Amino acid sequence: MTLIGAPLTRVDGRAKVTGTAKYTAEFEIPQVAYAVMVTSTIASGQVSGMDTAAAERAPGVLAVLTPRNVLKLPGAERRITVLQDANVYYQNQPVAVVVAETLEQAQHAAQLVRVRYDAKLANLDFEAGFPASYPGEHNGEPGDAGWGDVNAGLAQAEVKVEEVYTTPIHHHNPMEMHAAIAQWDGDKLTLHDATQSVTQRRSYVAKMFGIPEDNVRVIALFVGGGFGSKGQTWAPVVLAALAAKQVKRPVKLVTERPQMFGMVGARPRTHQKLSLGATRDGKLTAIKHEVHAHTSVIEDYLESSAFATRVMYDCANVQTVHRLVPLNLGTPTYDRAPGVATGTYALEVAMDELAYKLKMDPLELRLKNYAEIDPGTKNPFTEKSLNECYKRASEKFGWARRQAEPGSMREGDTLVGWGMATETYPARRLPCSALVRLQPDGRVVVASGTQEIGNGIYTVMTQVAADALGIPPELIDVKIGDTTLPPAPISAGSMSTASVTPAVHDAAMQARNNLLALASGDAQSPLHGIAADQLDINGGNISAKGSPGKTENFRALLARHGQPVEGHASLKPDLDTKKFSSHSFGAVFAEVAIDPLIAMPRVRRVTAVYDVGRIMNAKTAQSQFIGGIVWGVSLALFEDTQMDPPTGRFYNSNLAEYHVPTNLDIGEIDVSALDIPDPKLDSMGARGIGEIGITGTGAAIANAIFHATGKRVRDLPITPDKLI
Amino acid sequence: MNAFEYKRAEQEQMAIDSIVDAKDAKFLAGGTNLIDLMKNGVQTPSRLVDINRVPLDKIEVIPGGGLRLGALARNSDTANHPLVRTHYPLLSQAILSGASPQLRNLATNGGNLLQRTRCQYFMDTGFSKCNKRVRGSGCGAREGVHRKHAILGASEQCIAVHPSDMAVALAALGARVRVRGQKGVRTIAIADFHRLPGTTPQVDTNLQPDELILSIDLPASPYAAHSHYLKIRDRASYDFALVSAAAALDLQGGTIRSARLALGGVAHKPWRSEKAEAVLAGKPANRAAFEAAATAALAGAQPLKENAYKVELAKRAIVRALELAGGAA
């Protein structure tokens, strides 16, 4: 395994930075027409009438789709809001689609559509909805779980923390907006779609249109960021397919930036009550984590904020509770470490508050309650070396030099604060298949229907295949993002590497064995007659073990053979989850500086060390950790979707007013990983790294701000107005 | 976007003639704000008169003192001009704290003054209430989201703030705006250029519809040695001010001979506080004087629920800006 872990430069890097990597909206399809959505300006009610005459008369317009004339879909669900009826459930819901010869003509005509509404009173008050809130589940896991007797644990506690932490609505805002091109050929549909799962998209769309899955092909060669918003199927792609069917032309639909605020998911608002009990010497006696999160009135999505609380610390009495509050907002969904990012913010700030009450170092408190086994299931972890993360990260950061007293570390007028937190994310994998084909022309195709969402999967697949085959990576062409390829799971939940690479590895090993058998049986090969298990391949050269003179390049062999040599694999997860728990962990330390007068916190440096299984590519892994931490800074200080309370319309639905960090907001980031393989989860030993960086980081920054200023802000984001 | 006619003007007179003979015509310079507003359907001009070729992009010394900034000089070129950097560092700092390098490369000095508010009730036609956009429709911000809105000089009808950083420095420096219309050339003091919303929030400035900005003229300034533009915002770059303070001191020894102070992010116009300046004149440059000035500047503030923090934050911005200007921090 020489290539695994190597800092191979992204194989698609050049294509991306030179603009030749083709994203969905960039495909040029002959005869394509352009669709633009008209969206609602009420949060609840019905479309009572629509004046489309001016739009229909406008130059270039092919059709104006409305609830009155749209094709009825046999498999339509209420959640998808694709004009199937006149109901409006949230602001910015599609109510009409204008299709025209050019994008500009469609945009212009869309502005000419006049919509009348019968508005109903909308549910928009989050906290007023608590009494009628109800339980839910997340990915099939119940929202309510626990062990021991949490009330007894709190009663016996010598020191307690009871606080409420709140996080606002977030919108994913990938750079690439949701986009689709739909092309019908009879009842066969080809979709170019910016999706995190070509497979799920195919089955959902097929069901909606009432056609066999095999009639639908979905293509997504590059996805310009998803962050969870491109996992579920939302209205835009279905509307593109509807419009294409109705105008009998290929149709391209690209969501406008403000339209990203409503119809394509969001991280829901959370209200989290944390009750911690501990003995005087810092042993936790109880953790109670009660979460309210909003959902929509048309679908339940549960932000699983307290799930991480179930694995974090050794504690005899734990209770986690989630309640859903339905509001007239677009359905929320998975967003950047769903549940865990918001939940670890609350839990890890509460732990910091407890440390101060105990007059104990926050790191020492974590070590005191270190969970050697999964505290809920009592199962061992597949591998866990979090204590080593704490040790390395604290040493690199210089934590020992911290003065505990808030406001005690100063540089002139500047207050300096240090904070830390534990990070975690569950490790999972899903069934995946792959194909490796050694072609007569000497190129190697490695294929799996996974998606490149910035995670580097093209590169890691190249490395794994090259390593297994003994063939240079330059000869490998990775094919992904197409439902005609062997099916792979959704690119989400930090699962891609653990799911895809074992399948690629096994398919490559099979192809390699077939290749060596071919050499052995080929009368024209210098290796003829040598048993396949006595052959080896390195750098593309097949040789006989112990007979250095006998060698042949695989390309010569294949050229002579004239037929491809293949390997296939289709793998299912084989970890017995009744016997093991598998989670990644990490430790994050942050330093903030703040002029107490003007109250603008700056994150000067972040140090984190991760225990995430084997690192498959040192370079892309570094990028993913850094990206996660940048989102953690964003969670702590910036992201906040503001809602206009009377109308339920999002106030800041653009990137000037919805803040994500700029380069100037990001200080020094020092990330590293233990790189301890975890072969119990998957044969490659990798656990996935995409999301862990955002977890804990929000809390580490919030804790650093408290350490700097003595102000405990329990409502994200932490902006200057909350610090004066 | 609405259909519109495009005309290119090569000379001042041609530009003015082209604006007069069409209803709802607009000058197009950098377009960094106007084009966005047109895409959003907020502004629907019937004609755009492209003035980018009108020769108004010079930055030159005014004989007898002062500096003339051409209306079409780009914000980046203005901020980085040696004469601006040397004699008006406050202006340079203010410009560079706004927008992004890409926007500043395109945006012009005249256009900067004419930016519309970033109040989203104005920017998003999906909101039905905005007196500035639709007369008599109401103010969405007053009952809605107003964390970034005005605390000074607002009206029942409008609590929007002017977004410019550059204009705040210009207000402190006592700039004059030279304009040309059908009746000829006139100059408008920067303090009289922008308007408070009152009962006519749809009118941002006292520039007449036929008038073209020619230049922004800066008087000779005794403040180059001691000035500072401090911008407090949610993130470090590419963000509008929560509050900003342009502070300038003319110091003799430790005593303030005269001072200039203007605030951004607090009102419908750049908010110069002559009261605060009067408090500072003749005082020693110290924290007590700066705090007294801050109190005077915010004396008439009328915050709402979400923007109440701005009163305290503006005071602090003033104190810190004056300290940094005076080198006394």
* Residue whose structure tokens are 């009163």: B311
pLDDT at residue A355, rounded to an integer? 98
> What Cα–Cα distance (Å) separates residue A227 from each residue in A2, A264, A635, A707?
31, 11, 14, 31
Task: Look at A642 and B147 and tell me if their CB atoms are within 8 Å.
Answer: yes
Over residues B177-187, mean pLDDT: 98
Q: What is the pLDDT of residues B277-294, one digit of tens each?
A: 999 999 999 999 999 999
What values do phi and psi take at A620, rounded to 5? -70, -30
Residue B33: name the closest of B127, B133, B119, B118 by CA.
B118
**A602 and B CB contact within 8 Å:** yes
Over residues B264-270, mean pLDDT: 98
- Assign A380 to helix, strand or coil: strand
ipTM value for the complex: 0.97
pLDDT tier, A263 (very low <50, low <70, confident <90, very high otherwise): very high
What values do phi and psi take at B49, rounded to 5? -105, 105
Mean pLDDT of chain A: 97
Over residues A78-107, mean pLDDT: 98
Q: What is the pLDDT of residues B66-103, one digit of tens each?
A: 999 999 999 999 999 999 999 999 999 999 999 999 99
Q: Which of A116, A259, A597 to mutate to test the interface with B (most CBs of B within 10 A)?
A: A597
Q: Is B50 exposed, middle or buried (0-12, 13-18, 19+ CB in 10 A)?
A: middle
Chain A residues whose beta carbon lies within 8 Å of the beta carbon of residue B144:
644-647, 651
Scanning A582-601 for CB atoms below 8 A from B yields 595, 597-600
Percent of chain B scored above 90 by pLDDT?
98
* Residue whose structure tokens are 């000379």: B11
Percent of chain A scored above 70 by pLDDT?
100
pLDDT at residue A2, rounded to an integer? 83
Q: What is the pLDDT of residues B186-209, one digit of tens each?
A: 999 999 999 999 999 999 999 999
- Assign B104 to helix, strand or coil: helix
Separation CA B206–CA A4 (nearest Å): 68
Q: What is the pLDDT of residues B24-57, one digit of tens each?
A: 999 999 999 999 999 999 999 999 999 999 999 9
Chain B residues whose beta carbon lies within 8 Å of the beta carbon of residue A92:
126
Interface contacts (A, B; CB < 8 Å): 103
Tokens of A491: 């690119």
Over residues B154-176, mean pLDDT: 98
Over residues A193-220, mean pLDDT: 98
Paired sense of beta strands A179-185 and A141-142, if any = unpaired
Q: Which of A57, A93, A630, A721 to mutate to test the interface with B (most CBs of B within 10 A)?
A: A721
Active site residue A691: yes
pLDDT of B329 above 90: no
Over residues A617-629, mean pLDDT: 97
Residue A717: cis peptide before it, omega within 30 degrees of 0: yes
Q: What is the pLDDT of residues A464-514, one digit of tens each?
A: 999 999 999 999 999 999 999 999 999 999 999 999 999 999 999 999 999
Q: What is the DSSP letter of B273?
A: -
Nearest to B124 among A107, A111, A653 (CB): A653
Separation CA B36–CA A277 (nearest Å): 54
pLDDT at residue A548, rounded to an integer? 77
pLDDT at residue A361, rounded to an integer? 98
pLDDT at residue B147, rounded to an integer? 98
Q: Is A412 exposed, middle or buried (0-12, 13-18, 19+ CB in 10 A)?
A: exposed
Paired sense of beta strands A216-219 and A188-193, if any = parallel
Tokens of A559: 């050229």
Residue A499: name the closest of A560, A448, A445 by CA.
A448
Q: What is the pLDDT of residues A103-157, one digit of tens each?
A: 999 999 999 999 999 999 999 999 999 999 999 999 999 999 999 999 999 999 9
pLDDT of B259 above 50: yes
Phi-psi region of A537 (alpha: psi -120 to 50; beta: other; left: phi over 0): beta
What values do phi and psi take at A211, rounded to 5? -125, 160
Q: Is A52 exposed, middle or buried (0-12, 13-18, 19+ CB in 10 A)?
A: buried
In sign, the C-alpha dihedral spanning A719, A638, B158, B174 is: positive
Separation CA A534–CA A206 (nearest Å): 49
pLDDT of A343 above 70: yes
Over residues B258-268, mean pLDDT: 98
pLDDT tier, A1 (very low <50, low <70, confident <90, very high otherwise): low
Over residues B227-233, mean pLDDT: 98
